[in-house]
Structure 1
Amino acid sequence: MIDRVLILGGSGRVGSSVAADLVQHTPALITIAGRNSTVGAQISDRLGTNVQFQSFDLADVESLKSAIAAANLVIHCAGPFHYRDGSVLKLCIEAGVNYVDVSDHPSYTRKVMEYKSAAETAGVTAIVNTGIFPGISNSMVRQDVEQLDEPERIHLSYVVAGSGGAGVTVMRTTFLGLQRPFEVWMDGKWQEVKPYSDREIIQFPAPYGPVDVYWFDVPEAFTLPSTFPVKTVITKFGTVPRFYNFLTWSVARWWHPWLLRQTPVIEFLSYVSHFMTDVTDRLSGIGVVIRSEVTGKKAGKAARSLSTLVHPNTAISAGYGTGSVAQLLLSGQLNKPGVWAIEEALPTDLFQQTMQERGIQIQSELELSDG
């Protein structure tokens, strides 16, 4: 039997990248669902005969139920996840259908984690926070953690060039992340930090070089310390051109929090930012760089495991991250009933296998010292 995959938000930049990856690496029949019939039809025509478009809104519960019941796997790409609840996962559990998402907001991750026991009982594997960051980034951390005998500190940082090749939804996600302080795991305890604070200059691989990164509210801030026995987890984000960092920092520092909780304000900031990146993308590119650094001990010595990844298109690399997880679920290589963050569910050997199949190069090094 041929597998059938339903991609919610499949006509968006990330959703269509996931569909393109699945066309390349699986024989599955794919339904991309969204509200824009014109764009959806164009994407399905471009991706080939294994892809069809279905128009419906997530609020149309009956259409959503019917589409889920016809699938072997549902991939949720309909962000911003700040506004979503766990209803899609709930329907998947009721239908006995496996689930993957590209969620990138902590509140959503916490909501779907509440369905863990229900998914386990139903035999449904649900893997959240796939994509590029979170997603591939978290698997890079797992790979680094496994290099050490006693991991103590995780420092995970990302930089996106311009729009990253994604749509306005990514801009919304950025500004929604500035709304309120959040907790991070530092020195063995939870501490509150302000978004886009504590500027740090990190040396990234070429062509990025030194870039400013800042605290940002992401699911990894709590899923990584839940998964790995470390004392500190740092998750920081930045953009290039670097003046975008200053603009975002200014909004986080000087705009009243009440303003950032108003939908019209978020929409204004998002569309203005997207307009600006339409201009600067031609100079900066739309790529992404990830840097994972885990420090601790190995063989009784101080040790550092460092991994980096550079890709010229953020949206396409997100498609690789989610598509690879979907491929493993469809093939039966990955089967873990319950609800899991990606770093909990995906073994390093399978992660490395699927990245190699997609030509993704992750540079890794391990350093030992007597200090």
Structure 2
Amino acid sequence: MTKRVLIIGGRGRIGSSIAEDLLQHTQAEITITGRTSDPKQSWKAQLGDTVKFVPLRISDDSQLTQAISSTDLVIHCAGPFRYREGQVLKKCIEQGVNYVDVSDDRRFTQMALALGEEAQAAGVTAIVNSGVFPGISNSMVRQAVEQLDTVEKIHLSYVVAGSGGAGVTVLRTTFLGLQNPFDVWVNGQWKTVSPYTGREAIEFPAPFGRVGVYWFDMPEAFTLVDAFPAQSVVVKFGSAPDLYNHLTSLVANWFPKKLVQNPAFVEVLSNISYGMTNLSDRVSGIGVAMRADVSGQKAGEAAHYTSAFVHEHTSTAVGYGTGSLAELILEGQLTKPGVWAVEQALSTDLFERAMQSRKVKIQQGWVN
């Protein structure tokens, strides 16, 4: 029997990348949504005639119920998730439908994870924070942690070239992440840090090389603390070219906080940045690189394991991360009722097989 997948926000760049991955790796019947109708059926040029489209507003309860009740898996891509209240996940639990999202917001993630008992009682497998970072990055950490006897420190670093091939919504999310200090787990205790501070120079795979990364509020900074007994979990982010790092740091640390927290100002910044990156993308590309460094003990001695990932197209990489989870759920290989972060739900064996099927190579090994 053909499985049915509903991708909410599937007309956007992230959602359409996930749809492309599912078209390649599953036989699922895919329906994408957008807030308004699309009489030109513009998605067909990228996704083909087999994909269906329905207009859907998440705030319309009857529309949401009808759309979710007739599907086997919902993939939620309609960000920014800072503005979401969990209606889609709650409706999936109510209707007994499995769920995956590409959320990247601390408050939303905490709210979603709090619904774990309800999802478990309903037999619903729900996975949050899928994609590339968070998402593939979390599985890279699990892969590294399992090489050690004990884990002491997890250090995750990300860099995106230009826009990453994503739309203005992703840039909007970046500026929203600059608005407030946040807590991180360092040396066995929670510490408050300011966004886009604590610059470190990290060596990424080619073509990125050495790039500056900064504290950035990401949900894996606390989900990894729950999953693994590390004394420190560091998650930092940067952009290429480096000019964008300095501009972002300027906004985060020198502009008046009231201005940075003003929605109208965020919208202006997002659109200006989108225009700038559309030009610089021609030089920088739109790729992504990630590095996971995990240190601890192996056979009674200090040990350090590292893994790295690079892809030329960030949105495509998001499609790999989310699409692989969706594929495994549809095939019944990943069944874990409750609400989980990726590292809590996806085994390393399944992760490695999913990446191999997408011809993704994770560079990994011990560091002397």
Which TM-score bucket, shorter chain as reference?
A: over 0.9
Q: Supply the AA of the counterpart residue of 2:349.
A: D
Q: How does 1:1-371 map to 2 (within 5 A)?
A: 1-38=1-38, 41-367=41-367
One-letter amino acid matched to 2:341: A
C-alpha RMSD over aligned residues:
1.1
Give the conservation status (yes or no) of the 8 Å contact 1:11–1:39. no
Asked if 1 retains the 8 angstrom alpha-carbon contact of 2:156 and 2:290, the reply is yes
Gaps of 5+ in 1: none
Distance of aligned partners of 1:40 and 1:317 in 2 relative to their CA distance in 1, 3 Å threshold = farther
Counterpart residue type for residue 135 of structure 1: G
Q: Does the 8 A contact of 1:10 with 1:33 survive in 2?
A: yes
CA distance in 2, matches of 1:39, 1:179: 38
Q: What does the per-residue CA deviation read over 1:119-147, in whole Å, with 9 as the maximum and x for residues that have no partner?
A: 00000000000000000000000000001
The Cα shift of 1:45 comes to: 5.0
1:43-96: CA deviations, max 9, x gaps? 145323431111121112111110000100000000000111111100000000
SS of the residue aligned with 2:202? strand
Deviation at 1:41, TM superposition (A): 1.9
Q: Which runs of 5+ in 2 are unaligned?
A: none
Percent identical across equivalent pairs?
58
Further displaced range: 326-335 or 250-259:
250-259
Letter in 2 for 1:185: W
User: Once superposed, which parts of structure 1, at least 4 consecutive aligned residues long, lie more than 3 Å away?
Assistant: 36-40
Contact 1:33 1:40 in 2 (8 A): no
> Secondary structure at the residue paired with 2:42?
helix
After superposition, the C-alpha distances for 1:270-306 in whole angstroms (9 at most, x for unaligned) are 0000000010000000000000000011011111110
Secondary structure at the aligned position of 1:165 is classed as coil
Give the whole-Å Cα distance in 2 for the aligned partners of 1:39 and 1:361. Answer: 40
Name the SS for the 1:42 alignment partner. Answer: coil
Return the alpha-carbon distance in structure 1 between the equivalents of residues 22 and 50 of structure 2.
10
| Residue identity in the other structure for 1:171 | L
Code of the residue aligned with 1:356 in structure 2: it is Q
Contact 1:44 1:52 in 2 (8 A): no
Tell me, yes or no, if the aligned pair for 2:184 and 2:233 is still in contact at 8 Å.
yes
Against the structure 1 CA distance between its residues 184 and 18, is the aligned structure 2 distance closer, same or farther, given a 3 Å change threshold? same
1:172 Cα deviation (Å)?
A: 0.6
What is the CA deviation profile of residues 230-275 of structure 1, one whole-angstrom value per residue up to 9, with x for unaligned ones?
Answer: 0000000000011000000000111111112211011011000000
Change (3 A) 1:74 1:279: same
* 1:162 and 1:241 in contact (8 A); partners too: yes
Please tell me whether the aligned partners of residues 11 and 34 of structure 1 are also in contact (alpha carbons under 8 angstroms).
yes
Aligned equivalents of 2:219 and 2:81: distance in 1? 11
Whether the 8 Å CA contact 2:5–2:31 is kept in 1: the answer is yes
* Conserved 8 A contact 2:127-2:342: yes
Instruction: Tell me how far apart the structure 2 counterparts of residues 301 and 343 of structure 1 sit (CA, whole Å).
Output: 26
Partners in 1 of 2:294 and 2:340 — Cα distance?
A: 22
CA distance in 2, matches of 1:79, 1:44: 22
What are the Cα deviations for residues 23-43 of structure 1, in whole angstroms up to 9, with x where unaligned?
Answer: 000000000001243388221
Distance 1:213 1:10 in 2: 30
Mapped partners of 1:289, 1:39: distance in 2: 37
| Letter of the 1:133 counterpart | F
Instruction: Describe the superposition over 1:193-240 as per-residue Cα deviations: whole angstroms up to 9, x where unpaired.
Output: 000001111111111111010000000110001100100000000000
Q: What's the secondary structure of 2:292's corresponding residue?
A: strand
- Deviation track 1:3-33 (CA, whole Å, cap 9, x = no partner) reads 0000000000000000000000000000000
Residue identity matched to 1:271 = N
Change (3 A) 1:40 1:177: farther
Give the partner amino acid of 1:181.
P
Q: 1:75 to 1:160 in 2, by over 3 A?
A: same
Query: How far apart, CA to CA, are the structure 2 residues paired with 1:55 and 1:188?
Result: 47
Contact preservation (8 Å) 2:58, 2:87: no
Q: Deviations over 1:166-217 (max 9, x none)?
A: 0001111110001110000000000000000011111111111110100000
